[in-house]
Amino acid sequence: MRLSRYFMPILKENPKEAEIVSHRLMLRAGMIRQQSQGIYSWLPLGKRVLDKVNAIIREEQNRSGAIEVLMPTLQSAELWQESGRYDDYGKEMLRIKDRQERPMLYGPTNEEMITDIFRSYVKSYKNLPLNLYHIQLKFRDEIRPRFGTMRSREFLMKDAYSFDLTKEGALHAYNKMFVAYLRTFARLGLRAIPMRADTGPIGGNHSHEFIILADTGESEVFCHKDFIDFDIPGAETNFDDVAGLQAVFDKWTSIYAATSEMHDEAAFDVIPEGDRLSARGIEVGHIFYFGTKYSEPMGAKVQGPDGKEHPVHMGSYGIGPTRLVPAIIEASHDDNGIIWPASVAPFDVVVINMKPGDEACDRICETLYGGLETIGKDVLYDDTDERAGTKFATADLIGVPVQVIVGPRSAAVGEVEVKDRKTGERETLTVEAAMNRLAGR
């Protein structure tokens, strides 16, 4: 992408409305724009990151055996009357009427709708287990939307829903998501700690929130320090291995971790003082097992091996991609801007032409830009006429992992400078050596 033809509205000034660093940097880097309170557009740079986050979430959901669907944002109130949640949900639910005066709502979550899909088609235990997920916008009319897309009213959610004949089956489905979540957050460059959590309007009593430790987090959390060094299950994990997944779950729940709603002071005090972590955190995922809470009233039953009908045992599993993007920034930035983990960076490399119009600079930049794109790298080519200082500041602000700086003096002798955004290390290399280096990353 040539920056001169891109749409990346960088803000020079610090936006006054932004209270936390991720919100400030997302606005300054031109990633998002607020359209009305708690409702955002994703501009091109932000959209690239969001897409990469979603791709990782999707890969790990698929790996665990979940199957993608797409449900609508607008739902009929009838379904919610069946489960009893239409009246319970309160003011967070945006209720609307269509032209026939039928009550509709903008879905805050999809337990009812997926249960309706399930009951329409699945009648036998032989079609189980099943886990269906989608990545779709939700709306919750939060009292205090804040911190940009961290807590917004309209937000993206990956929500998965599992169906099993028995409670044991459902707990295995829960463990599959538990492991998929550990892998997902690790691939996003985050250390997420699963913590015992309250279930609120979703229901059930077996639930974990996945929390990233961050001073700006909205949740107050308590856990054992050892979590920081726990191993993440590998890509070779067999998701059908019931005992194997249970062992991972047991390990990750063997030491204390709870959100403030579930905090047990006495249990926390048993941990040696030096190993206690009392901190703030960002909830990036939340998983629930709620048995037959929806299947029972909504008549989602399957015939079991005994020939009788049984309401299915269900769980639901949420991740917030539009919250993850700022969470990643909270975890990875410096005074100059964002430092993206390579897995979600909007571009792999930024090529900075210090003197457009200079024959050697232009030639080398075109060679690098074309060559790297050909081998499948996402390259941002800064071919604009901005001052050098502005170009450096922009490259640092948007956090692309590698910068290739092409200035007239070194270009004349066929050399460029390669800078690592995270460490700040710079190295002068020939064009060919730079190409090889970047190709290998």
Assigned token pair, 44: 């091109």
Binding segment for ligand P5A (CB under 6 A), chosen from 50-58, 311-319, 389-397, 409-417, is: 311-319
**Does 75 sit near ligand P5A (CB under 6 A)?**
no
List 157, 177, 182, 345, residue binding ligand P5A (CB under 6 A):
157
Q: How many CB atoms lie within 10 A of CB 134?
A: 20
Q: Nearest CA to 404 among 357, 359, 376, 436?
A: 436
Smallest distance, ligand P5A to C-beta of residue 242, A: 23
Site for ligand P5A in 336-355 (CB under 6 A): none
**Does 323 sit near ligand P5A (CB under 6 A)?**
yes
Of 39 and 104, which has the nearer Cβ to ligand P5A? Answer: 39
Binding segment for ligand P5A (CB under 6 A), chosen from 18-26, 96-104, 279-287, 330-338, is: 279-287
Kindly give the pairing relationship between strand 219-224 and strand 94-97. unpaired
**Does 320 sit near ligand P5A (CB under 6 A)?**
yes
* Beta-strand runs (E) in 100-224: 103-106, 130-139, 154-164, 192-196, 206-213, 219-224
Smallest distance, ligand P5A to C-beta of residue 328, A: 13
Q: Is the backbone of residue 148 left (phi > 0), alpha (psi -120 to 50) or beta?
A: left
**Does 22 sit near ligand P5A (CB under 6 A)?**
no
Smallest distance, ligand P5A to C-beta of residue 255, A: 22
Binding segment for ligand P5A (CB under 6 A), chosen from 76-84, 183-191, 243-251, 314-322, is: 314-322
Q: Is the bond into 129 cis (omega within 30 degrees of 0)?
A: yes
Site string for ligand P5A, 87-126 (x = CB under 6 A): ----------------------x-----------------
Residue 301 · residue 311 · CB < 8 Å? yes
**Does 176 sit near ligand P5A (CB under 6 A)?**
no
Of 300 and 364, which has the nearer Cβ to ligand P5A? Answer: 300
Angle in degrees, CA 395, 401, 407, rounded to 5: 50
Assigned token pair, 326: 């700022």
Kindly give the pairing relationship between strand 402-406 and strand 349-353. parallel
Site for ligand P5A in 214-273 (CB under 6 A): none
Of 151 and 421, which has the nearer Cβ to ligand P5A? Answer: 151
Of 118 and 155, which has the nearer Cβ to ligand P5A? Answer: 155
Continuous H helices in 201-338 = 242-252, 265-269, 295-298, 321-331
Smallest distance, ligand P5A to C-beta of residue 155, A: 4
CA separation for the pair 245, 237 (Å, rounded) = 8
Assigned token pair, 313: 């045992």
Assigned token pair, 287: 């998983």
Assigned token pair, 315: 């769980």
Smallest distance, ligand P5A to C-beta of residue 157, A: 5
Smallest distance, ligand P5A to C-beta of residue 268, A: 23
Q: Which residues contact 49 (CB under 8 A, 6 or more apart)?
A: 31, 325, 340, 344, 345, 346
Smallest distance, ligand P5A to C-beta of residue 71, A: 11
Read off the amino acid at residue 413.
V
CA separation for the pair 264, 188 (Å, rounded) = 30
Of 173 and 350, which has the nearer Cβ to ligand P5A? Answer: 173
Smallest distance, ligand P5A to C-beta of residue 34, A: 13
To the nearest 10 degrees (0 to 180), the angle between helices 321-331 and 44-63 is 110
Site string for ligand P5A, 358-397 (x = CB under 6 A): ----------------------------------------
Binding segment for ligand P5A (CB under 6 A), chosen from 149-157, 165-173, 289-297, 376-384, is: 149-157
List 142, 218, 373, 415, residue binding ligand P5A (CB under 6 A):
142
Q: How many CB atoms lie within 10 A of CB 281?
A: 26
Residues belonging to the chain: 441
φ, ψ of residue 174 to 5 degrees: the values are: -60, -45
Smallest distance, ligand P5A to C-beta of residue 219, A: 10
DSSP per position, 293-343: TTHHHHT-EEE-TTSSEEEPEEEEEEE-HHHHHHHHHHHSEETTEE---GG
Binding segment for ligand P5A (CB under 6 A), chosen from 17-25, 48-56, 147-155, 392-400, is: 147-155
Read off the amino acid at residue 237.
T
List residues binding ligand P5A (CB under 6 A).
109, 140, 142, 151-152, 155, 157, 159, 202, 283-286, 288, 316-320, 322-323
